[in-house]
Structure 1
Amino acid sequence: MEFPEFHHDNIGRSDLRAALSQETTMTAQALQVRLPLTGFEAPLSEVEQAIQHSTRKFAQTVMEPMAARLDKLSAAEAIAKDSPYWKIFPEFGKLGLSIGELLQLPAEERGRLMPIIFEELGAGDGGLAISLGASILPWLMIYATGKTGLLARYPEGSAIGCWGITEPDHGSDSLDFGRMCAQPGSEYGHPNCVVRPDGDGFIIKGQKSAWVSNGTVAQLCVLFAAYDDGSGEPAHCVVLVPLDAAGVTRGKPLEKLGQRALPQGELYFDDVRIPADHLLAGPGAEYEQAAYIILAEANALMGSIWVGAARRAYEHALNYAHDRKQGGVPIIRHQNVRYRLFHMMRRVEAARALNHRVHLFNATAPVPALQGSIATKITSTQTAFDVASDAIQMFGGNGLTREYPVEKLMRDARASMIEDGCNEMLAIKGGTLLIDSDRI
Structure 2
Amino acid sequence: MDQLGKAGEQRPAAAAVATPSTPSGSDFNEPKDSVWSRIVSGSGLVSILAIVASLIFGAILIILTDPKVSAASSYFFAQPGDTLTAAWKAVSNAYGALFESAFFNPQGRNFGDMIYPFTETLTVSTPLILAGLGVMIAFRAGMFNIGAQGQIVMGAALAAYVGFSWNLPVGIHLIVVILAGIVGGGIWAGIAGFLKAKTGAHEVIVTIMLNYIALNLVAYFLTLPSWLRPGSNNPISPIVPESAQLPLLLGENFRLHWGFIIALLATAFCWWLLNRSTVGFEMRAVGANPAAARTAGMSVSKGYIVAMVIAGALAGLAGVAQISGTEHSLTVGIAASFGFDAITVALLGRSKPIGTMFAGLLFGALRAGGVGMQTETGVPIDIVLVVQSFIVLFIAAPPLVRAMFGLNAGAKRAKKRAAKAAAGGAA
Q: What is the TM-score normalised by the length of structure 1? A: 0.23
Name which one, 1 or 2, has greater alpha-carbon Rg: 2
Bigger proportion of residues as strand: 1
**Higher RCO structure (Cα 8 Å, ≥6 apart):** 2
| Greater fraction helix | 2
